[in-house]
């Protein structure tokens, strides 16, 4: 029966051919009623069909919605009651510290529902500009100033009122094969010929870091083999290097330890910051987020994670 079928946000993203951020935005606006099953958000088939009917009646949305029959997904037992009116907070970024933050924020502010979206730094800021995300994590290097994040935030969120708070700092650099056979010690060494790269996707902090370093060192990206072949996370890049399918990749220290089989060359300490828009409806949960970020309980969970520097965690770095 249709009433027994429910979908994850990923299912809906695939069925409607839209991004997960757009799905979260629909949930956030109340257009798509959702409820939590453990850590997962789900939408009943009947509510999805009702949304499609409403969307088809609006010419602005009709072209974007596929109308073919949708596949069924087995229903989940022991679900919570729907709370469509409960405010949601979309947290974007891929670091595990954000999952920890979501857990603590849910306890600190039970009136909101944190939703996680695993999107790169630049795309996250663009999503915030579009009103599709609420807490954005970013680690974007501006090569000209050597500063992280603030130059990008100021340009993309011009005219907005926001607060920037440090999440963590961490070592970033090169993944190389065991023993470092190419003898890569710094960014300038990437000018070697015939180097094979396992690259990150456009808009990710690691991709921006690589592109900025190539630009600053005058190294044409076209000479690097595999530049156009993208992985969606640090572990995917480190894994390609570990398997011998690439000579190097750019990423964070933690992934090298998790994957194994690679050496890590630390080259820069990158700062991962959180951005939150200061709107009247956001002020209460922003204060709750600040309290979580500055709490000993949150710091206690971050300390054991390899490669994290939490000396600035919770510190307000910029505010408009």
Encode pLDDT of 230-268 as tens digits.
998 999 999 999 999 999 999 999 999 889 899 999 999
Q: Read off φ and ψ for residue 309, nearest 5 degrees.
A: -115, 115
Digit-coded pLDDT (tens) for 216-240: 999 999 999 999 999 989 999 999 9
Q: Would you tell me the crossing angle of helices 9-16 and 20-29 to the nearest 10 degrees?
A: 110
Q: How many CB atoms lie within 10 A of CB 85?
A: 7
Q: How confident is the model at residue 58 (pLDDT cuts 50, 70, 90)?
A: low
**Which residues are within 8 A (CB) of 150 and not within 5 positions of it... i.e. 6 or more apart?**
164, 317, 318
Q: How far is CA 134 from CA 127, 163, 187, 291, in A?
A: 9, 11, 34, 17
The pLDDT assigned to 300 comes to: 97
State yes or no: pLDDT of 53 exceeds 90: no
> What 3 state SS string does 101-153 have?
HHHHHHHHCCCCEEEEECCCHHHHHHHHHCCCCCEEEECCEECCCCEECHHHH
The pLDDT assigned to 145 comes to: 96
Stretch among 1-5, 73-77, 155-159, 257-261 having the lowest mean pLDDT: 73-77
Q: Is there a contact between 138 and 227 (Cβ–Cβ < 8 Å)?
A: no
Q: How confident is the model at residue 39 (pLDDT cuts 50, 70, 90)?
A: low
pTM of the full structure: 0.77
**Which residues are within 8 A (CB) of 1 and not within 5 positions of it... i.e. 6 or more apart?**
none
Q: How far is CA 213 from CA 188, 208, 220, 303, in A?
A: 8, 8, 11, 30
Digit-coded pLDDT (tens) for 151-202: 999 999 999 999 999 999 999 999 999 999 999 999 999 999 999 999 999 9
- Regarding beta strands 113-117 and 88-92, do their DSSP bridges make them parallel or antiparallel, or are they unpaired? parallel
Distance from C-alpha of 43 to C-alpha of 29, rounded to nearest angstrom: 14
Q: How far is CA 169 from CA 173, 215, 270, 271, 302, in A?
A: 13, 24, 6, 4, 11
State yes or no: pLDDT of 45 exceeds 70: yes
The pLDDT assigned to 3 comes to: 52
């Amino acid at each position: 029966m249709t009433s027994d079928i429910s979908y994850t946000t990923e299912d809906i993203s695939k069925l409607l051919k839209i991004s997960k951020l757009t799905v979260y935005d629909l949930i956030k606006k109340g257009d798509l009623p959702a409820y939590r099953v453990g850590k997962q958000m789900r939408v009943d088939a009947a509510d999805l069909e009702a949304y499609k009917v409403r969307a088809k009646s609006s010419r602005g949305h009709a072209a974007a919605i596929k109308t073919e029959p949708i596949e069924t997904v087995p229903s989940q037992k022991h679900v919570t009651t729907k709370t469509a009116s409960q405010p949601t907070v979309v947290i974007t970024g891929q670091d595990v510290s954000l999952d920890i933050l979501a857990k603590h924020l849910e306890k600190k502010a039970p009136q909101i529902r944190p939703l996680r979206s695993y999107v790169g730094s630049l795309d996250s800021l663009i999503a915030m500009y579009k009103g599709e995300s609420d807490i954005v994590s970013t680690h974007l290097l501006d090569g000209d100033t050597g500063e992280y994040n603030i130059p990008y935030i100021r340009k993309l969120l011009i005219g907005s009122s926001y607060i920037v708070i440090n999440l963590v700092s961490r070592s970033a650099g090169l993944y190389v094969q065991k023993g470092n056979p190419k003898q890569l010690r710094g960014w300038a060494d990437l000018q070697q010929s015939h180097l094979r790269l396992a690259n990150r996707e456009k808009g990710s902090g690691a991709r921006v870091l690589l592109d900025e370093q190539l630009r600053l060192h005058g190294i044409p990206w076209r000479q690097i083999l595999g530049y156009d072949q993208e992985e969606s996370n640090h572990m995917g890049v480190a894994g390609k290097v570990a398997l011998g399918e690439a000579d190097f990749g750019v990423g964070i220290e933690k992934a090298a330890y998790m994957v194994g089989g690679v050496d890590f060359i630390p080259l820069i300490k990158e700062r991962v910051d959180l951005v939150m828009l200061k709107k009247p409806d956001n002020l209460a949960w922003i204060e709750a987020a600040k309290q979580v970020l500055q709490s000993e309980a949150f710091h206690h969970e971050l300390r054991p994670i390899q490669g994290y520097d939490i000396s600035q965690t919770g510190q307000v770095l910029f505010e408009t």
